[in-house]
Amino acid sequence: MSDLGYDAAHMLGAVVLLMSFALLYQRRLFSLLNVFTMQALALTATAAWQAYSHGEPHLYITALLTLVLKAILIPVALHRIIVKMKIHRTIEPALGIGLTMVAGVSLVTLSILLVLPVTADATALTRENLALSLSVVLLGLLMMISRRNAVSQVVGFMSIENGLILAAVGAAGMPLVVEMSVAFSVMVAFIIFGIFLFHIRERFDTLDMQKIESFRGESD
Amino acid sequence: MTPLLATLYQILQMLLVLALAPLLTGWVRLVKARLVGRRGPSMLQPYRDLLRLLRKEVVLARNASWLFRSVPYMMFTAIWLAAGLVPVFTTQLALAPTADLIALIALLGSARFFLALAGMDTGTSFGGIGSSREMMIAALAEPAMLMIVFSVAILVRSTSLAEIADFMMAGAVGLRISLALALIALVMVAIAENARIPIDNPATHLELTMVHEAMVLEYSGRHLALVEAASMLKLLLYMALIACVFAPWGMATAGSGVAAALGGVVVFVAKLAVGGTLLALFETSIAKMRVFRVGEFLGGALLLSLLGAIFLYVSRGV
C-alpha cells in the first residue's frame, strides 16, 4: 500500500499547500517573502521528484525555472523593492488573520468538493494533485483580496502561479511550451508589477490600496 | 501475554513516568540554559525542588474552601493516570483496553477544570485572570485536539492508543498529508497546553501575561509540589503521546519478551531526550506571543487538524 513515489509526491504537494497557509498567516513583509521562497523551493522539489519518479526529463527544466525565477530572482527583487521604497514592514490585513484562515480552509474544502466528482476515475495522485493545486490557486486569490499592501498582493499573485505549476507538474502530458510560456508570462507580469509599484508610489506616496481607492472615489 | 506480566508492566510504567517527569523538565531547563550561554542548574534540580516543597508547611488563605485543598490531589491523580495510560515502552499494558484517546482528553480536561476552579477559589485577581485565560486556551485547544484524534482514528479505525501504536509500527500507512498536518497541530496544542513559550513562559512567577503560574500563585508546600509534579507529568505525557502516535518504533509489541520491554524503556528515554532538546531549541529561538494572539495560534492548530481530516477523503486507501 505504501510506495515511496506516491508518498513523497503527496507530502511535497502538501508542503506547497501548507506554505500557502503560512503566507496567509504572516504579518511582516520580509517573513512573507521568506515563506514565499520556501513555497517555491517545495514546488521545485515536487517538480524534480515527479521528473525523477515518472522519468520525464522535461520536468527538470520546470524545476530549474521555478528555482531560478521563483526561489531566487523574484524574492530578491521584491526584497530590494521593499528596502528601496522604505515600505512600512508590517502587513495590515483587510480581514482579520483568523477570519482569513477560516476562509482559506473553506476554500480548500470547496476545491476538494469540486475536484472529487470530476476526477472519479483518475488515479489518487492526480486527484490529490488537482485538489491541492486548485486550493493553492484559490488561497493566492484570497491573499490578493485580503491584503491592503500592494507588495503582498504581488506575492499572492505569484503564489497563484505556483498553484498552476503544481497542477501542470501533476498532470502527466502538459507540454513544455505551455509551462515555459506560463513561467515567462509571470515574469513579464512581475516586471510590469514592479514598474507599477514605483509609479503608484510616485503618484500617491503610498502602497496601501485602501488609501489609493479613495482617489477613485470608491471608499470614503 | 499473561495478565500478571501486563500488570507488572503497568506498575512499572506508572513508576517510570513519575520518576522521569522531573528529569525531563530538568533536561529541558539545562538545554535552554546552555543554549543561552549559562551553565544552568543540574538536571536533578526539579527533584530537589519537589522534595523541598513537600517538606514545607502549607499556608492557606483564610477564605480557601475544601475545593482549594483537594484540587492538587485530584489534578495530580488525573494526570498521573493519564500518563500511565499512554503506552511508552510496551503496548501490552494491563490498562491498554481503557487507554483511549478520548478518555485521555477527558482526564486532562477534568484536571484543567479543577485547577481553573481552584484559581478562582481564593478570590485573588491574579488567580481569576489565570483561570479565565486558561479557559480561553482550553476552548481553542480541545477542539483542535479532538480533530487530531478524529483524523488519526479514521485512519487507524480505532481510538485505542495501543492499537494506534501497533498500526503505525506495522508501517502500512506510509507518509500521509493528514498525519503530517495532525502532527504539526498536535505539537502546537502541546505547546499551548504545557504553558511553554510562545503561549506562556514557564520560567516566570511574576508577569502580567502569565497563565499557568497565575492560577497556582496561591499554592504552597505539598500542594504546590503536587501541582508542579502534575505539570511536569503533563509535559512528559504530551511527549509520550506524540512519540506513541507518530514515532512508536522501539516499543515492545505482543509476543515479544521482557528484553524487548526493557529495550523499549531505553528507547523511550532516548525519545524524551530528543523531544526535550527540540523543545528547548524551539523555545530559545522564538519570542513570547501577546495573549491576544494565542487565539490565532490555536485557531491555526484547529484549522490544520481540520484540513488533515478533510484530506483523509482525498488521499487513497481510507
pLDDT tens digit sequence for B68-77: 999 999 999 9
- CB-hemisphere CA count at 13 Å for A190? 22
Q: B164, B135, B199, B149: which is closest to B302 by C-alpha?
A: B149
Q: Which residues of chain A make contact with B304, given a CB cutoff of 8 A?
A: 21
Which cell numbers in the block locate residue A49? 521528484
Vertex B117: Cα angle to B115 and B122 (nearest 5): 105
Which cell numbers in the block locate residue B309? 481530516
Q: Which residues of chain A make contact with B310, given a CB cutoff of 8 A?
A: 105, 108-109, 112
A10 touches B315 (CB < 8 A): yes
Q: Given pLDDT bands bounded at 50, 70 and 90, which one contains residue A2?
A: very low
pLDDT for A1: 39
Are residues A116 and B307, on separate chains, in Cβ contact within 8 Å? no
pLDDT at B227 over 50: yes
Give the C-alpha distances (Å, rounded to integers) separating A219 from A141, A186, A213, B267.
22, 30, 6, 63
pLDDT for A152: 82
Per-residue pLDDT averaged across A184-197, rounded? Answer: 76
B189 touches B137 (CB < 8 A): no
Vertex A66: Cα angle to A135 and B311 (nearest 5): 25
Helices and strands: H and E segment counts in chain A: 9, 0
pLDDT tens digits along A60-105: 888 888 888 888 888 898 888 888 877 766 766 677 777 888 888 8
Q: Which residues of chain B make contact with A21, given a CB cutoff of 8 A?
A: 300, 303-304
**Could you report the predicted ipTM of this complex, rounded to two decimals?**
0.72
Smallest CA–CA separation between A189 and chain B, in Å? 32
Per-residue pLDDT averaged across B247-267, rounded? Answer: 83
Q: Which residues contact B300 (CB under 8 A, 6 or more apart)?
A: A21, A25, A101, B188
Where residue B63 falls (left for φ over 0; alpha for ψ -120 to 50; beta otherwise) is alpha
Does the CB of A121 have a partner CB in chain B at under 8 Å? no
pLDDT at B117 over 90: yes
B152 touches B101 (CB < 8 A): yes
Q: A42, A40, A58: which is closest to A8 by C-alpha?
A: A42
pLDDT for B318: 46
Residue that wins the pLDDT comparison between A3 and A101: A101
Q: Which residues of chain A make contact with B174, given a CB cutoff of 8 A?
A: 1-3, 6-7
Q: Which residues contact B29 (CB under 8 A, 6 or more apart)?
A: B40, B41, B45, B46, B203
CA separation for the pair A188, A200 (Å, rounded): 18
pLDDT tens digits along A30-59: 888 899 999 999 999 988 888 888 777 878
Least CA distance to A125: which residue of chain B? B315
Q: Given pLDDT bands bounded at 50, 70 and 90, which one contains residue A173?
A: low
Residue type, A110: L
How many percent of chain A have pLDDT more than 70? 83
**End-to-end Cα separation, chain A, in angstroms:** 59
Smallest CA–CA separation between B188 and chain A, in Å? 14
User: What's phi and psi for B38, nearest 5 deg?
Assistant: -100, 165
Domain layout of chain A by residue ranges: 4-216
Question: Who among B177, B313, B317 is closest to A14 (CB)?
Answer: B177
Per-residue pLDDT averaged across B23-44, rounded? Answer: 93
Tell me how crowded residue A219 is: count the other CB atoms within 10 A of its CB: 11
Angle of helix B101-121 versus helix B221-246 axis, rounded to 10: 150
Q: A3, A8, A16: which is closest to A52 by C-alpha?
A: A8
Residue that wins the pLDDT comparison between B268 and B296: B268
Say what the pTM is: 0.85
Q: Which of A152-161, B143-152, B207-216 has the lowest mean pLDDT?
A: B207-216
Q: Given pLDDT bands bounded at 50, 70 and 90, which one contains residue A129?
A: confident
Question: By a Cβ cutoff of 8 Å, what residues of chain B touch chain A?
Answer: 171-177, 180-181, 184, 295-296, 299-300, 303-304, 306-307, 310-311, 313-317
Does the CB of A2 have a partner CB in chain B at under 8 Å? yes
pLDDT at A212 over 50: yes
Q: Which of A35, A53, A105 to mutate to test the interface with B (most CBs of B within 10 A)?
A: A105
C-alpha B27 chain-centroid distance: 16
pLDDT at B251 over 90: no
| Percent composition of chain B: helix, strand, coil (DSSP 3-state, to 5) | 70, 0, 30
Vertex B134: Cα angle to B128 and B135 (nearest 5): 90
pLDDT at B268 over 80: yes
Tell me how crowded residue B304 is: count the other CB atoms within 10 A of its CB: 26
pLDDT tens digits along A4-14: 777 788 788 88
pLDDT for B54: 94
Average pLDDT across chain B, whole number:
88
